[in-house]
Every structure is written in structure tokens, then in C-alpha cells.
Amino acid sequence: MKVIIIEDEKPSARRLQRLLEKEGISVIATLTSVEEGVQWFRQNPHPDLILLDIQLSDGLSFEIFEEVEINSAIIFTTAYDEYALKAFKLNSIDYLLKPIDEEELETALTKFRTTHSGADQLKLEEIKALLSGSDNYKKRFTISVGQHLKIINTEDIACFYSENKATYLHTRENRSYLIDQSLEKLEPLLNPKDFYRVNRKFIINLKCIEDIISHTNQRFIVKLKNFNSEKIIVSRERVKGFKDWLK
């Protein structure tokens, strides 16, 4: 059996490789990003099985399959219980919740050996649909404030923004808090009905928009309630998506 691991956390990848080797399975490659995955699949014969992390450093792993057609069976790995794990199970899509349990991995591999073939096709749109339910998005954030922990409901957040290589959330009450997740990591955790990434620095909440003003090159300036720190301009490549989001 030829297996590859796609995982951006090195300790998780090493542990998973050790568990596979205990099962007598040799890992032929370990990849860490969407970009690396696309390049590898374009240049190499596809393996029998992929152990695939849902969230990678440069985006969702599904983006790989939008660029190349994959003929391998897949077992998903994820650390996010916000995802539709129950739906995965009901639809017979294999997943492993991190930290990966050795017995659960063995069960998934046994299922693969007995029920899958190398010709299995990943049904990308079906899997995306499983992950699109509003109940599966992040409901709250826990923020460290000195020696205290503050719980902020997602609906009370006006925007997320990056500044000086750090990421902040800004509340409706006009307070900003440092968080330890990048905008790239945050984006798939937020309900797209409510939040939209208007440029590389801002993800905004639809319900907190106060005004939208036409700007140069068919772009827009967005004003949020209780946020005056920086002008928010919708980037040109995101204007169409922004207009669709507003409908």
C-alpha cells in the first residue's frame, strides 16, 4: 500500500507516520501545504491512500482537489470539532479526530483495506456540503486578558484584522484583542453568511457594516460601527464576491 500524509503540523505528521509504520505501512511522502500538494500530485503517481488534514497553513486541503483530480482513497484528520464530524460518519467518510488514537487509526485502515479500491473518487462538492452547515462554525472565542480569560461570542465581533504580523478581533463595543490565529486559519471557521474577507488584512461582519462608499478602480470603502482605526477597502479581486455576499 502506498500512503502519503498531508499535514502542516510536524509533530502530528511524525506521530502519524510512526503509527502507520507500526501497521507495516510505509509513507512515501509527507506534504505540508495546499501549494506543495498540488505540485506533488501533478508530478507523481497517486498513492492508494491519503491521510489528509482538513486545515493547512495556506488554506483548506480541498483546494488541492480543485486544481488536480485525485484517484486515491482519503481518510481525513482534523483538530476542529466545529466541523461536521457526525455528518462525515453518517455518510461513511472516514475521519480521525486529533490527537489520533492508535486503535481508531487501525480501524480506519482495516475499513480501507476491505471496502475501498484505488479507483475511489473524492466527491468534493458533497464533502464541502457536509462542512457548510451554519451549526458547524465557531460560536465563541476565548481571549487571554492579563490573568483572566474573556469569552467573546462570534456574533459580537465586528471584524478580524492583521497588523504588524499579529491578528486581532475587534468587538462591537470598540475593543480590540490579540488572538493567536491567522486570518487564513480563521476564515474557514467563520460562517460565510456573516463574515467575508474583503482584503488580505480584514474579515468583516455583515451585521456591523455602517456604510459602503464607492472608491477608485470600482472598489469600495467599508465603514464599520465603532471601528475607525484604519480605512477598510475591498480589494479589486474581491469586489464581485463582496457584492454577491451582500445579496
**CA-based R_g, the chain, Å:** 20
Asked whether residue 41 falls in the same domain as residue 158, the answer is no
In this structure, are 91 and 126 located in the same domain? yes
Pair (144, 130) in one structural domain: no
DSSP state of 182: -
Same domain, 125 and 142: no
3-class SS at 211? strand
Q: Are 204 and 172 in contact (CB under 8 A)?
A: no
Helix (H) or strand (E) holding 95: strand 95-97
Dist. CA 175–CA 173, nearest whole Å: 6
Q: Residue 37: which domain range?
A: 3-135
**Do 113 and 34 share a domain, yes or no?**
yes
Q: Which of 186, 197, 173 is nearest to 245 (CA)?
A: 197
Total of domains in the chain: 2
- The domain spanning residue 112 has which CATH number? 3.40.50.2300
Instruction: Provide the angle, in degrees to the nearest 10, between the axes of the packed helices 10-22 and 102-115.
Output: 60
Same domain (yes/no): 22, 69: yes
Where do the H-state alpha helices sit in 26-148?
A: 34-43, 62-67, 85-90, 102-115, 124-130
**Does the predicted TM-score (pTM) go above 0.85?**
no
Q: Are residues 186 and 96 in the same domain?
A: no
Residues 175 and 228 in one domain: yes
- The CATH code of the domain that includes 231 is 2.40.50.1020
Same domain assignment for residues 73 and 89: yes
212: alpha, beta or left? (left if phi > 0; alpha if psi -120 to 50): beta
Per-residue pLDDT of the chain (247 residues; tens, 9 = 90+): 889 999 988 888 999 999 999 888 889 999 999 899 999 999 999 898 899 888 787 777 878 877 888 878 888 887 655 444 544 543 445 667 777 888 888 888 887 777 664 434 445 555 555 555 545 678 889 888 888 889 999 999 999 999 988 999 999 999 999 998 889 888 878 888 899 999 999 999 999 999 999 999 889 999 999 998 889 999 998 998 899 899 8
Q: Check whether residue 129 and residue 147 sit in a common domain.
A: no
Whether residue 198 contacts residue 224, with contact meaning beta carbons closer than 8 Å, is answered with no
Task: Please say which residue of 135, 163, 180 terminates a domain.
Answer: 135
**Cell 477597502, residue?**
233
